[in-house]
Structure 1
Amino acid sequence: MNNDYIVPGRPGISFNEFGEAEILVWAPLAEEVRISVVSSGEKIPLEKLGYGYWGIKTSGVKPGDSYLFDLGDDQLLPDPASLFQSEGVHGPSEAVDLRDFQWTDQQWVNPALPAYIIYEVHIGTFTPEGTLAAMEKRLDYLADLGVTAIELMPVSQFAGPRNWGYDGVFPYSVQDSYGGPKAMQHFVNACHSKGIAVILDMVYNHLGPEGNVFGQYGHYFTDKYNTPWGEAINFDDAWSDAVRHYFIQNALMWFRDFHIDALRLDAVHAIKDFSPVHVLQEMKMRVDELSEATGRQPYLMVEMDLNDTRYIKPVDQCGFGMDAQWIDEFHHALRVSSGQQQSGYYSDFEPVVSLAKSFRDAYVFDGTYSEHRKRKFGVKADGFPGHRFIVFSQNHDHIGNRMLGERTSQLVSYEMQKLLAGTVMVSPFLPLLFMGEEWSESNPFQYFVSHTDPELAEAVRKGRKREFAAFHLEGDAPDPVGEETFQQSKLQWDLLEKEPHRTMFRYYKQLISLRKEQPALSAADRSGLTVTVPEGKELIILERNTAGQLLVAVLNFAKNSEEVVLPHAQKWQKLIASSDQEWNGDRTLPEHLEAGALHVAAESFTLYAAS
């Protein structure tokens, strides 16, 4: 037997230069496989290729044709690598020729990571229409705000029109209610024309429950491991080669055919793989090969609940090679510093002290004991530059996973909101905003789904209730299946014309401008950082001394004003002070300051540059 494993092409249907459909499906359990073309009624048998693959080149399938696979048992199933489910997760797949789109972004260059200022968006609630086309009309607004990258929450096809996206079941597809694959290509092209990169949130740790046909095709799952969502995806058990190939090819497709600039990989700690070459490491190597071939530089970013630098170490240092990671701990420390409740997993974090440690060390727990976990946790992140870490004061998880989905605007004062924004922007890490925070959006962002299976819908309701038990909350969460939960999570764009929302927008815009223009901020450099917490004070003095510039930020989390002596005997020029009347504050700090004391307001952010 030939032991050389021949790597096949891209799963699903693609079209070659001759207009032929190249069909590939992995179905190792099947004795025969046919493609059933809905429009013509024709059933075309596929050839057995080995290692469980079936394929054929044919002119019998055209772009726009609906089709299903017949695995020999007269049960017709959609394509696991479907590009478009125009009739939802239970309908047929639709053949799409991704080469048809006329790209105009040939001059586009993905910004270097230190230049990323990320804006996280849920497409369905960003606009009244909830589509990519509607969002495209808001790109001038986002360009004016100053963000350099849009992060889209998952777009893979899910059941019904409402979902956060983490219940997607067709990773190659674009949700029909968002506009489908052509709308995605058009959107990315438009973003690039405005100078904005696009990050796509992808879920490679599980597949959603409704419409999930993968187990009927082959060994996509393994019972070797458990995840919060059930059986793990099979990345290292028998038959895992094809499963790894499926997900790696998916990542390559987004970069190659949709010109996506970065993928944010969801909860990679739930990817179970003990192979000698971890699937993320292999993915990184294949992405680097694509980058070399195309001249484009895409990034792989990860969310993980592990303070483990192995994920962001280069491949040649036995790491997985991921380009950046989210740091939830910065958020947790910032949240408790703002006076919010220390319950659940927030109980591990001390106000101000934990935040100061995150500024210095990225990870709060870097080999130290975690009372919440009842064990030591994490490793040190020394030597990794700031642009390898992404921080935020709020995101979809930490809003929507509250029982009532309250945004920060409903939990802290207006002044504290400005302080939180300044804290994120002055950090040596990459800043991320969640849609609407820049105008202090007051609508919640709640958890919502539109499962059509009544038992599944009820299971989601019960699961939400169990989740909040750890926080000892009373009452009931909003019905995640109810349309009203989705509707009340939509942004209120009219707030931009009202106060104090209009001023908050101007404040964020100015912060972003400073982040871009001030060398010490835009460098995302941790090496020139000094963090001081005056004894007995709820206050941090942060120095950024890099790129030939010295900045000092005063972060006062106390409910009273404080007198602060700026470090170094020299002259200072004010860059921004959240307490200034310009930003609806109650005082205006001096534009210029000699060495000496500065009286900062309660709950305020103040930034001066050495002149």
Structure 2
Amino acid sequence: MTRVWAPRAARVDLVLPGSGTAEPLAAVGDGWWEAGRALPPGTDYAFSLDGGPARPDPRSPWQPAGVHGLSRTFDATAHAWSDADWRGRDVRGAVVYELHVGTFTPEGTLDAAAGRLDHLADLGVDMVELMPLAAFGGRHGWGYDGVALWAVHGPYGGPAALQRFVDAAHVRGIAVCLDVVDNHLGPSGNYLAEFGPYFTDRHQTPWGAAVNLDGEGSEQVRAFVVEKALRWFRDFHVDALRLDAVHALVDDSPRHLLAELSDAVAALAADVGRPLSLVAESDANDPRTVTPTASSVDGRPGYGMTAQWADDVHHALHALVTGERQGYYVDFGAPETLATALTDVFVHDGSWSTFRDRPWGHPVPDDLDGRRFVVFSQNHDQVGNRALGDRPSRVLAPGALAVSAAVVLLGPGTPMLFMGEEWGATTPFLYFSDHEEPELAEAVSRGRAAEFGGHGWADLYGADVEVPDPQAPSTVEASRLDWSEADTGPGRQMLELYRALISLRRGEAAVASGDRRATTAAVHDGALVMTRGAVAGGGRVAVVLVPGEGTVSVPVERAGARVVLDSNAVLGGRRARVGRAGDGTTVTVHGPGVVVLA
């Protein structure tokens, strides 16, 4: 049935191209309007409110003519799925791989990305995380300014292409996570406020008025969010959703939207018989995010997310291996800080944050599974929000990149890689946009340059650094992965290392475990030794990480340990030496590099 929620309208018409007339919809209560018939698949349509201009459907599944054009109906049941044997994959402990569809391949489409799934399967990836696909203005963008939130961006291939991609991934044993943005809409094509009270001035976010989750009319706004999420799981067979910046979902109602969403997804998971995961990006450093809705932390009911991103692990690792201390890296950089992040997750767990100029965060209970925290050395934010969109490979030696990879893949968290990281990609990932409105395009270009003016980038890159114009075609072109790098000698060596680390993660129970109580991290002469596995349980693994130049001899607890991975042996450096010291073992590592003993 064709229907739309427009509680403030006195009249709503269905607009069909070529008909010459508008078909009145009937008011059916609670602000809903319905047509007397369903529209066939592939029909273009729009809605007119009180005789106004034709507007896209807020729940449009497809915007083939762009976010200002007509909506198009889509039959989500038409795809002949081949994943009947797919049993799903929980995000906890999975090796996740984040990619941007538009720059992952030269073609920039979902079908082209599906053509690279064999590469990811060979690497050992368990779950692909797609950056947002909701339709946005123009052809190119990161996707975080989507406005047709139920649609799949047309230039990527539309909704049918997403179904094909998910099906192809499942055939290869790879789960799919979709990044969704519910905390704001982009500036171009945002017509939601014309239909109803989707936004409120009672709360503010970095993008302006907040989504209305607790004011008048919020019941239907919440349903808009929850039903959209269930649709991705049900009609597109996705396995997980990554929820962008949930701290900006301001909700003072008795039951937070995240808890409502969590319970609804859990009910659907029980119905379909496979795990469905919710992964939150949160700036709050609060274990409440991943506490079940039936439990509480310090008297505060949990939000029930399956996992959440752990930025503090990234900050501690990045600041250590690069030496950067600008901006939010100011409190990070010492090896002891990384040791804290590996065992406690949050460095700021109620302690003072210099960057925020206030105490920040909450402690993580010792018994909370480390796999509930997604960790990474790169992601779209941490690379793309740099002035030059440069990756760590711009300045780090291969051995230092190996240190980063080992921390992420062998620690107690759920590891996530960023596209191209596995071969040491040197292509940047810049911020780019394709706004068609001249004033908006100019504002974005000016704003991006001004934003970086106060971030101390001149100290890092040099006084003459110029921030690439996000609207320039050259910016998105520079951000496309260069797959030929994976076939070079250094690229093949790095790929071999990543495969070995992922294989080790799968083959060693102590590494695959998320038991943080069985994880220790100690600093020895600038090196960091991370030990996985209980002392009495057997199967302990010691990961010796030397982030800097020089030779370091490091004691490890276990006598008779054997080397199961030496990054320098893979990358062409000087191999480590294992010696005996009393009842223990000493490992001599030529940094930067990683040695794993079991």
Amino acid at match of 2:406: G
Indicate the residue corresponding to 1:54 in structure 2. Answer: 33
CA drift of 1:179 comes to 0.3
Indicate the residue corresponding to 1:226 in structure 2. Answer: 204
Amino acid at match of 2:362: V
Deviations 1:100-133 (A, max 9, x none): 1111212111224444100000000000000000
1:210 correspondence with 2:188: yes
Give secondary structure in 1 for the equivalent of 2:548.
Answer: coil
Amino acid at match of 2:526: E
1:278 to 256, 259, 264: 256
Indicate the residue corresponding to 1:468 in structure 2. Answer: 452
1:106 correspondence with 2:96: no
Amino acid at match of 2:293: V
> 291-300 or 182-191: which moved more?
291-300
1:479 to 453, 469, 484: 469
Q: Partners of 2:449 and 2:206 in 1: how far apart? A: 15
Amino acid at match of 1:552: A
CA drift of 1:558 comes to 2.6
Indicate the residue corresponding to 2:321 in structure 1. Answer: 338
Query: What are the equivalent positions in structure 2 for 1:256-335 lying under 5 Å apart?
Result: 256-317=234-295, 318-335=301-318
Q: Give yes or no for contact 1:532–1:542 (8 Å, CA) kept in 2.
A: yes
Deviations 1:150-202 (A, max 9, x none): 00000000111100000100110000000000000111011000000000000
Indicate the residue corresponding to 1:533 in structure 2. Answer: 523
Indicate the residue corresponding to 1:359 in structure 2. Answer: 342
Deviations 1:460-486 (A, max 9, x none): 122212322332234331010011100
Deviations 1:2-27 (A, max 9, x none): xxxxxxxxxxxxxxxxxxxx122111
Deviations 1:517-574 (A, max 9, x none): 111111222121111113xx32111111147410011111232110111113x21111
CA RMSD of aligned residues (A): 1.6
Amino acid at match of 1:332: H
Q: Give yes or no for contact 2:289–2:304 (8 Å, CA) kept in 1.
A: yes
1:156 correspondence with 2:139: no
Q: Partners of 1:107 and 1:589 in 2: how far apart? A: 47
Amino acid at match of 1:384: L
> 555-564 or 445-454: which moved more?
555-564
Q: Partners of 2:8 and 2:211 in 1: how far apart? A: 17
TM-score, scaled relative to structure 1: 0.93
Q: 1:591–1:485: structure 2 CA closer, same or farther, 3 Å change rule?
A: farther
1:565 correspondence with 2:551: no
Deviations 1:430-488 (A, max 9, x none): 00000001011111000000001111112212221232233223433101001110001
Query: What are the equivalent positions in structure 2 for 1:562-601 lying under 5 Å apart?
Result: 562-568=552-558, 570-580=559-569, 582-589=570-577, 595-601=584-590
2:362 to 379, 382, 393: 379
1:175 correspondence with 2:153: yes
Indicate the residue corresponding to 1:542 in structure 2. Answer: 530
CA drift of 1:370 comes to 1.3
Amino acid at match of 2:532: R
Q: Partners of 2:70 and 2:216 in 1: how far apart? A: 29
Amino acid at match of 1:567: E
1:188 correspondence with 2:166: yes
1:36 correspondence with 2:15: yes
CA drift of 1:586 comes to 2.5
Deviations 1:64-102 (A, max 9, x none): 011010112231101111100001111100011101111
Indicate the residue corresponding to 1:603 in structure 2. Answer: 592
Aligned-pair identity in percent equals 42
Q: Partners of 2:36 and 2:557 in 1: how far apart? A: 71
Q: Partners of 2:23 and 2:517 in 1: how far apart? A: 62
Query: What are the equivalent positions in structure 2 for 1:411-560 lying under 5 Å apart?
Result: 411-474=395-458, 475-534=465-524, 537-546=525-534, 548-560=538-550
Q: Give yes or no for contact 1:334–1:351 (8 Å, CA) kept in 2.
A: no
CA drift of 1:46 comes to 1.5
Q: Partners of 1:140 and 1:289 in 2: how far apart? A: 33
Give secondary structure in 2 for the equivalent of 1:232.
Answer: strand
Q: Give yes or no for contact 2:331–2:353 (8 Å, CA) kept in 1.
A: yes
> 514-523 or 126-135: which moved more?
514-523
Q: Partners of 1:350 and 1:133 in 2: how far apart? A: 41
Q: Give yes or no for contact 1:156–1:170 (8 Å, CA) kept in 2.
A: yes
1:410 to 390, 394, 409: 394
Amino acid at match of 2:540: L
